[in-house]
Structure 1
Amino acid sequence: MGSIGPDTTVSQEFTPHLYPGFPADSKPCVELETFSFAKLASGDRAEQARLYGVCKTRGFFYLDFSDTYAQSLPDDAEAIGRLAEQVFKLPQEEKVKYAYGMTGTSIFGYKQAGLTKTDVKGTPDTAEFFNCSKDDILQTPSRKPTDLPSIISSSPARSLIGDYQKTCHQVGLDILSMLATQLNLPSDVFVNKHRITEASGDHVRMTRGPPRKSQDLSLPEIQTPGHTDFGTITILFNWLGGLQVWSEASRGNFNNIVDPEQGSKDESSKPEWLWVKPKPGHAIVNLGDAAVKFTGGVLCSGRHRVVPAPGEQGLWPRYSVVYFVRPENACVLKRICGGDVPPVQEGKEEEELTAHEWIMKQAIALRDGIAKGNVDI
């Protein structure tokens, strides 16, 4: 491939088969556990227990879909990546027609670069998003639809994204069912809060981050600032490095500080950002805030951020395709009673927000670069 990055004379910039490998000398990296979805779905108790252990300690793992109903997901994600390139190549004046501002009503549509603040100084992010609502694509009757550009609303694209959403959603429900069983809860306790037919914040996100401007990795160009995901479970496909996880797990304070290096209380642990290597053919799966809230902190969500990839990979635009499984809009985010979920401490009361209220509160705080500890999100 060489070191000059993508050939600007070539129309396509989303070309996973041309990407250089993730640099072997990039440090520090995290070694995530890998799971076979086929083995998990077969009812292998030891494997499900191992998954539960990972979800209690880090909340991030690789998932292989070979030989399952979801085996098409890696190829379908690449197809959506090619679609994403077409979307982001639309003229800016066309894209902003579908813009959202995280104003408290919707997070669906186009997010232009710079809308989110990456630090308390107000430094803007560099990534573009297009969030395709599950309810828009699958046409949930109870929700007013969001306008979509014709390149997405056309029958082939809508069918591609819709099938992808349905498969990812079912994968998420299957994993949540396994975790419920490990928690000694009814297997459908989470499933009943994430019905695909009900209005929710579930969506496919197409993301484009620009190539790296500087090779000095100590001065990261933040594409997406440090945060925990707002929902329950996230399924990510990406082909270049750039994802980083914070070395400390998040168990319930939800202070989405944008510079956690300054926020750690444990001086001896020396927390840091760790690179996550992309693994061909595998999704990266992580839990979000709702999983922590439902279980009283038994399960954890991993704080993460996105920067340009290290080495030669960073010379390429970074595309990713994400599906967010979130509780139904009307679901109240409170601790589940029973099983191995610890009860609320005597004399304490939990804040009761609906999933929709929670998501908007989180999104607005992230947009505004809320200062450390100033908001409980």
Structure 2
Amino acid sequence: MLNLGLEQTERKMDPFWWVYMFLAYTFVLLLGIACIIGPFVLFFIFKSYWLLLLIPLIPLGWWMTRGMIRVIKKYIWLNRHNSTYSLKNNVFSFKEWNKTTKDVIEGTISIDQIDYIVVANYTFQDNHAYARAGVTEEVPKNTRPPIIYVVLTMNDKKQVLSIPFYENHTVDPWLKKFKEAKIAFYYTAHDIRGVHSEDKVALFENEDLLIFYDYNGAWENQVLDLYNTWIEEKVVPYQSEEVDGENDQTSQANKHEASPEKLPFSKWARIAAVLYLLYAVGLYITVILAEKEFVNAESPLPGFILLFILSIIYFWMFRKHLRWHYMIRFCVEAFIATFIVSVIFGDKDPITNEMFAGLTASTIFFILIVWIPYLIIRFAKKKFH
């Protein structure tokens, strides 16, 4: 009988999601570059010293650009360095990349040199970006697939290799091979994939972490019983000692999650200073465009566009404190900011006066649609946090 052996490789990101993510990060990168060079370009075009107020955007753009370059380089590296494991003719080969240090461990050993294995589940985040599924197929964002921790000794030092799987049935061929080789099986309910190899060894030597079990040929049918047994043996005996403290912590956590955090004045002042400075510059640019007849001074659309963009940023910046009355609060603050700017700069000529009158009116009527950006941020907060 032909022995093709077993091979497991960390998945690469799905091409669609890779392109989507790359374009999203590239957009933010270009936005950061625009923040750096934009003030100089606008000043050169309009020759207005008011545009020097955009200079604070330069360090912001530098921070965004550096951050996005790091993130893009990180994802390129992760997508090109995938750990691989193979088992053929009782020979176990591996090449495992450490995602934090970018070091690699590789080698080939006999399966008999494996001390024992620990089987568990781990949290696989952003599963939809890696899943091999059809375009219309619904895929969960986070899953709990199995993982095998292989404990072995190399150069008189214990090492732990982590073999991740993505569906329950794909782990069974590996478990059958390890059982045929009479390797000891253990189980834990803890998710320790992100723990360093040396720390994993220390955790596995802790008798409170592992339970021994006999593999019966189907991981998916056995994992729930294993979990319940682990809870009974490792958690229940200690519940009576810790239940009061845990209940207190849980009630505090639930109370904390039930209502948004209170907004300190200092935080509001910092964010508002940046937001309304940008808003004032946006108003000034809109007036200049109206004077040059690029924008209709009688149309309320420029004001609504400015307010819509500003409200999206406003609600996102205050998302941890977001409550329904922030819609009213934003409209009031935007009206005050528009009124102040119009009083200072609204007496240049009839077009400017007309433009600022329209912008002020836009802030009054914006309360009719302010719920749209508010609900967008509420939805985004639940979706991504």
The structure with the larger Rg is 2
Q: In proportion to residue count, which structure has more helix?
A: 2
TM above 0.5, yes or no, is no
For the aligned pair, the TM-score class normalised by the smaller chain equals under 0.3
TM-score by length of structure 2 reads 0.19
